[in-house]
Structure 1
Amino acid sequence: MLCLGLFGTAGAAVPPAGSGWSLVWSDDFSGAAGTLPSSSNWIIDTGHSYPGGAANWGTGEVQNYTSSTANLSQDGSGDLRITPIRDSAGNWTSGRVETQRTDFQPPAGGKLRIESRIQMPNVTGAAADGYWPAFWTLGAGYRGNYWNWPSIGEFDLMENVNGVNQVWGTLHCGTGSGGPCNETTGLGATHACPGSACQGNFHTYALEWDRSVSPQQLRWYVDGVQYHSVNASQMDAATWDAATNHGHFILLNVAMGGAFPDPVAGHQTPTSATQSGVPMLVDYVAVYSSGGSTTTGGTTTTGGTATGGTTTTGGTTTTGGTTTTGGTTTGGTGGTAYSTLQAESFTQQSGVGVEACTDTGGGQDIASLANGDWAYYPGIDFGSTAAHQFKARVASGAAGGVSGLVEVRLDSRTSTPIGSFAVANTGGWQSWQTIPANISAVTGKHDVYLTFTSGQPADFVNVNWFTFSQT
């Protein structure tokens, strides 16, 4: 575990990476007093919802998020201040930010640690009713598709409500109600802050996301004390993969009232007794990585040190960006467009689960695909004679009225699709059909994206394989 500066005054430096760890990203909020946080690092959320998202941020909270420095600013002493304020009419404003980056995840076979040193708002009792400070993450697939929660995963590193002297740590995943992750409560635990009260004192809140162990595990810490863990064996593989097999982005905010503070208080919050203007202070946010390996263009990075050539680990050989296990290509670059391209051979994805497949030939398929999900297959060679058709092996157990498009895009997941086909229920999630679609003429080598678009938030398709043809 990292050696952390757990206590002390505000404005402490980002702790150096401990032995075996490397710093991936950080912000220590060292800007001038009264300035907004770095736009290179952070997106400022405003209003009562994302455009096209659920009202009141999906949780019933009452505040309006703004970009005003009264609600959100650096203090000149190395802290970010997020301050809820009630106006004379009783309306609340506050601040919320999320990282520009959405790719925070451990390397294959490694670990990631996300941490922040935070002082919760220094308010307790009736004056704290409705205060809801939080430090958390969401799966990358949530951005732009605000109806796929909680399947894309949410890691709550620090939540607190109503000035109670404890921290909540929670994993949200699975389905929107009940399911393997006990939604909407999630899989959580609480812990008192060591040494001093949570309110008004700086404590370090962290999550370690560990792909180096089997089953994979998430662990929650406050001031270096582990108080909660969840591992992959606690749910089915598809649910775990949908929540963790992709990047996440980081959020900081102070909400007021809603679905968490109200039941804890036993009444609607905030109230007329709730004190306005008490900030959450954030000293720094840092992301560290340890172990594992990542490969790009033939360069393998292991434990933070880049080494060229070919790496073999535990029977898995990585060469030039293509990973081969037991003779089956499961990732990497290259290949002809006219071969059978296994859908699970993506190298990047968002919102994509992988599961065992009962179709002819067995293997795996990509699953739980819904609006906004995508998978990336780099370096696919179409040759000098144009391809004009695309077909894919798909299955769907979607409910009546739920359907969507399987689309092909080239070189960018936001480019115009070169072709698509619609799919609805095929008779079950393992009831397979091969569906063709015409595409615009394509030659040469391209990065291929499969993207999934639907007017409904529900999962609508699984994909086993796909290919292209010239006629």
Structure 2
Amino acid sequence: MPGVSERVTGICKRATRWRLRGGLALAIIAPVIAVTGATVPAASALAAPAASTPAVAAAAPAAVPGPPSGWSTIFSDDFNGGSGSGVDSQWMYDTGPGSSFGTGEIETMTNSTSNVHLDGSGNLDITAIGSGSSWTSGRIQTTSANVGAPAGGELEVTASIQQPTGGLGYWPAFWMLGPGQWPENGEIDIIEDVNSLSEVSGTVHCGTDPGGPCNEPNGVGSGLRSCSGCQSGYHTYTMILNRTNTSSESVTFYLDGTAYFTVTEAQVGTSTWQAAFDHNLSIILDLAMGGGYPNGVCGCTSPTSSTTSGGTMRVGYVAAYSTSGSGGGGGGGGSGTGPVTGYNGLCLDVRGANSANFTPVQVYTCNGTNAQQWTVVQAGSTLHALGKCLDINGGGTADGTTVDLYDCNNTGAQVFIPQSNGSLYNPQSNKCLDDTNFGGSGTQLQIWDCTAGDAAQVWHLP
């Protein structure tokens, strides 16, 4: 078996699928695993989980831990429920053949309780079943991109997990993904292991593929690290996204409260970082079989005839905590609900207060109606009015593409990241929300090349 230094080539990918309007599907490919020699700086004292490095198997946790002092719980699941039941409505199943994910994995993901079920004792079991090249397993993700770090604040996402046994081919993962086009939408792989090695790796993905500042498709990662006892007991796997200084942000990975790897904004560049991590992400749990990562590590085709069916990834809880942040600085923005004003004091407005899909979003004389009440959500990345989202028509990326109201759907067409210069930046198109030709009250908005300081692209959030 090759040594750790030989286990990292550009061989591995992860993916998820998002439904777009008109029934079209977008496959977002996300690779995983890279090695870097970066030194791990000390983590934030406020954010760091309580450090403990068990030398023996840890028992299943009784409940989701409360938030650290100064933090708030923004998502949690302790997987309480009847034995054999499915997950609750916070999650959705991502089903279908693993071959469609672009990773080389060979299982079929199902929503069967044979593959994904609660054990009746407060734990989630994801089990791979099969032999040869015929396997089934499970993959769940939160129903929306629901957790993010506010500007000036921090986000902690953590889980208590017992990794599966079973041998070659097993590929457990606990990870996060932003809405939009991979890899610019951002991906954070909090835990991955392969082939029941009692190891762990943490990786981020961003920028462009191939190459780019995140060295895609490899990403920027820790490489496989020892995780003693991780197949025989529960251990905590944690990520902290630190935005307390919005010009010097970071992602730090922890095993049982001990930091082992950090990636910084300076390593990949400000614009790339903001597009990847200054917005909400979804949380994903899955157990794949075979594929580029396990095959590359073992130098074989996995699973093999010696791989045991029934290996289970057990999850005691998943939780996300955040601090309130300052609301300022680059990539920041407002919070709450109210008018969004632009050039000449005009308000962002849903034409005719009509909540139907494709209703134009325009600038209009401020009048205090519900059509002008916008809620800044998803850590300052999407804007909602009348129960729907500000949206780029058809997911277009060309200058002059119009902007309208549409059902919120987690696509990149609905991500508008506030910038320190007042613009609202859409990473998918690499353009900014624009007051079309300063057209005055009643003019539908568009996207256009970002121009720092252009009054047509300066917006004041509530």
TM-score range, shorter chain: 0.5 to 0.7
Q: Is the 8 A contact 2:280 2:379 kept in 1?
A: no
Question: Is the 1:41–1:100 Cα contact (8 Å) retained in structure 2?
Answer: yes
How many residues matched? 353
**Structure 2 counterpart of 1:19:** 69
Paired residues for 1:377-388 under 5 Å: none
Task: Give the match for residue 251 of structure 1.
Answer: 284
Confirm or deny that 1:66 pairs with 2:110: yes
Superposition map of 1:156-167 within 5 A: 156-167=189-200
2:92 corresponds to = 43
Match for residue 227 of structure 1 among 260, 263, 267 = 260
Question: Any conservation in 2 of the 1:413–1:449 contact (CA below 8 Å)?
Answer: no
CA distance in 1, matches of 2:189, 2:457: 37
Greater per-residue strand proportion: 1
Whether the 8 Å contact between 2:155 and 2:240 is mirrored in structure 1 is yes
**What amino acid sits opposite 2:293 in the alignment?**
F
- CA displacement at 1:349 relative to structure 2: 8.5
Which of residues 190, 194, 197 in structure 1 aligns to 2:229? 197
**How far is the alpha carbon of 1:28 from its aligned partner?**
0.6
Shift of residue 102, structure 1, vs aligned partner? 0.8
2:97 partner letter? H
Change (3 A) 1:36 1:4: farther
Identity %: 38
TM-score, reference length from structure 2: 0.66
Native 8 Å contact 2:177 2:282 kept in 1: yes
In structure 2, the partner of 1:103 is: 146
Equivalent position SS for 2:323? strand
Displacement, 1:262?
1.1
Aligned residues of 2:91 and 2:142 also touching (Cα < 8 A)? yes
Match of 2:22 in 1: none
Q: 1:377 to 1:76 in 2, by over 3 A?
A: closer
Q: Can you list the C-alpha shifts for 1:170-216, whole angstroms capped at 9, x where unaligned?
A: 0011112121101111100046456x422222110000001003411
Q: Aligned letter for 2:65? A: P
| Structure 2 alignment gaps of length 5 or more | 1-47, 350-361, 366-373, 387-391, 414-429
**Higher-RCO chain (CA-CA 8 Å, sequence separation at least 6):** 2
Aligned equivalents of 1:72, 1:92: Cα separation in 2: 14
Q: Per-residue deviation at 1:76?
A: 0.6
Measured in 2, the distance between the counterparts of 1:347 and 1:242 equals: 20
Q: Give me the whole-angstrom Cα distance separating, in 2, the residues matched to 1:92 and 1:333.
A: 55
SS in 2 for 1:234: helix
In the TM superposition, residue 56 of structure 1 has moved relative to its aligned partner by: 2.6
Q: Say if 1:105 and 1:246, in contact at 8 Å, map to a contact too.
A: yes
Is the 8 Å Cα contact of residues 103 and 246 (structure 1) preserved in structure 2?
no
Deviation at 1:410, TM superposition (A): 3.2
Structure 1: gaps spanning 5 or more residues: 50-54, 143-147, 295-311, 340-345, 353-373, 380-391, 393-397, 418-428, 453-460
Q: Does 1:120 align with 2:163?
A: yes
Alignment of 1:40-439 (within 5 A): 40-48=89-97, 55-86=99-130, 90-123=133-166, 128-139=167-178, 141-142=179-180, 148-190=181-223, 192=225, 196-213=228-245, 214-293=247-326, 337=363, 376=383, 406-410=401-405, 412=407
Distance 2:161 2:74 in 1: 20
Q: What are the superposed Cα offsets for residues 48-68 of structure 1, whole Å, 9 maximum, x if unpaired?
A: 26xxxxx53121111000011
Is this contact kept in 2: 1:56–1:62, CA < 8 A?
A: no
Give the deviation of 1:103 after TM superposition.
Answer: 2.7
How large is the RMSD of aligned CA atoms in angstroms?
Answer: 4.3
With over 3 angstroms needed to count, the CA separation of the structure-2 counterparts of 1:122 and 1:408, relative to structure 1, is same
Cα contact 1:412–1:449 (8 A) shared by 2: no
SS of 2:72's partner is: strand
In the aligned structure 2, how far is the partner of 1:183 from the partner of 1:322?
Answer: 40
Larger radius of gyration: 1
Output the CA distance in 1 between the equivalents of 2:82 and 2:267.
Answer: 46
Measure, in 2, the Cα distance between the counterparts of 1:250 and 1:74: 18
Q: Deviations over 1:32-55 (max 9, x none)?
A: 1100010x2100111126xxxxx5
Q: TM-score, normalised by structure 1?
A: 0.64
For 2:150, the aligned partner's letter is: P
Q: Contact between 1:375 and 1:449, CA under 8 Å: does it hold in 2?
A: no
**Separation of aligned partners in 1, 2:364 and 2:177:** 36
Give 1:234 shift: 0.6
Tell me the SS of whatever aligns to 2:213: helix
Find the aligned partners of 2:84 and 2:177 in 1 and give their Cα distance: 28
- The 3 A distance-change label for structure 1 pair 242 and 347 is farther
CA distance in 2, matches of 1:122, 1:84: 11
Q: Does structure 2 conserve the Cα–Cα contact (< 8 Å) formed by 1:112 and 1:209?
A: yes
Q: How far does the alpha carbon of each residue in 1:261-318 deviate from its partner, in whole angstroms, 9 at most, with x for none?
A: 1111112211122111110100000001124146xxxxxxxxxxxxxxxxx999x997
C-alpha separation in 1, matches of 2:335 and 2:91 = 35
Contact map agreement 1:377 1:449 (CA 8 A) in 2: no
Q: 1:105-162: CA deviations, max 9, x gaps?
A: 1122000100000000023xxxx111100000000x24xxxxx211111100000011
Indicate yes or no: 2:49 matched with 1:2.
yes
Secondary structure of 1:15's counterpart equals coil
